[in-house]
Amino acid sequence: MNPGVPHHGAPPGGYGPPPGAPYGPHPYAMPRPAVSPQGVPLAESWRRLAARVIDGLVVGVPVTAVLLGAFAWMVYGIVGLSEADPSTVGGAEVLSVFGGMFLLIIAAIALPLGALWVYDWVCHARSGQTVGKRILDIKVVRIADGGLPTGGQACGRGAAYVAMSQLPVIGLLDALWLLWDEPFRQCLHDKAAGTVVVSTDYEGYPGY
């Protein structure tokens, strides 16, 4: 064999394998989806936000109706008191009206928060899904084993969410934390409860 002529089938001298092959990821390969420790795809951030909006309506509409009814009753009492003959109005009536105003203010603060907490707690403990999450095909599960949150976890998760939402900076951080959290896209209230939110609309999920 002539030493100056390359052997048939061998690459010419000076030429190596193509760049990036056979080692290393393909530069145009699709990124792998983020998954839970059990391999279930995580819920996208837009689905979680949309679910929260729906849940806000589910809780907010009836609570607002109750508060508006109480406010209307209070206004009726104040108008009736103002039109009554002062000589016939006793201290008990005045105290009742102003006491009711004070209770209405307290209820306007406590009722929405309490209702949201109980709603969040009960729904996640029973099925891992609120109405919004069911519509958006996402679910809260334990990060440890993928099961439903325990009653204590669901209670703590709801309480952490409601409490953080009342603190301007902390509430904003809690809502946005999943955008940069790795590897499980958890909000702060997820981390506090040991939960993660997964997608349920794919063929590998039980009950799909």
1-43 per-position pLDDT tens digit: 555 555 555 555 555 555 554 555 555 544 556 899 999 999 9
Within a domain: residue 159? yes
Give the model confidence (pLDDT) of 71-114 as tens digits.
887 777 667 666 555 555 555 665 666 677 778 888 888 999 99
- What mean pLDDT value characterizes the chain? 82
Give the model confidence (pLDDT) of 115-138 as tens digits.
999 999 999 999 999 999 999 999
Tell which residue, 170, 155, 149, 199, has the closest CA to residue 48. Answer: 199
Task: Look at residue 104 in the predicted model and tell me its pLDDT.
Answer: 80
Task: Give the H or E element holding residue 198.
Answer: strand 195-199
Mean pLDDT along residues 171-187: 94
65 pLDDT higher than 90: yes
CA distance 37 to 142: 10
Within a domain: residue 39? no
Collapse the DSSP code of 138 into the 3-class scheme (helix H, G, I; strand E, B; otherwise coil) and give the result: strand
Within a domain: residue 24? no
Within a domain: residue 182? yes
Q: b/e per residue, 54-89, with b = 16+ CB within 10 A?
A: bbeebbeeebeeeeeebeeebeebeeeeeeeeeeee
Tell which residue, 116, 204, 194, 203, has the closest CA to residue 148. Answer: 194
CA distance 90 to 81: 10
**What is the pTM for the complete model shown?**
0.75
In which domain, by residue range, is 177 found? Answer: 45-199
* Structure-block tokens of residue 63: 């609570």
Within a domain: residue 33? no
Within a domain: residue 20? no
Within a domain: residue 18? no
Tell which residue, 197, 60, 185, 79, has the closest CA to residue 137. Answer: 197
Residue with tokens 């949201």: 116
Within a domain: residue 98? yes
Residues contacting residue 162 through CB under 8 Å, at least 6 positions apart: 113, 116, 117, 120
Please count the structural domains in the chain: 1
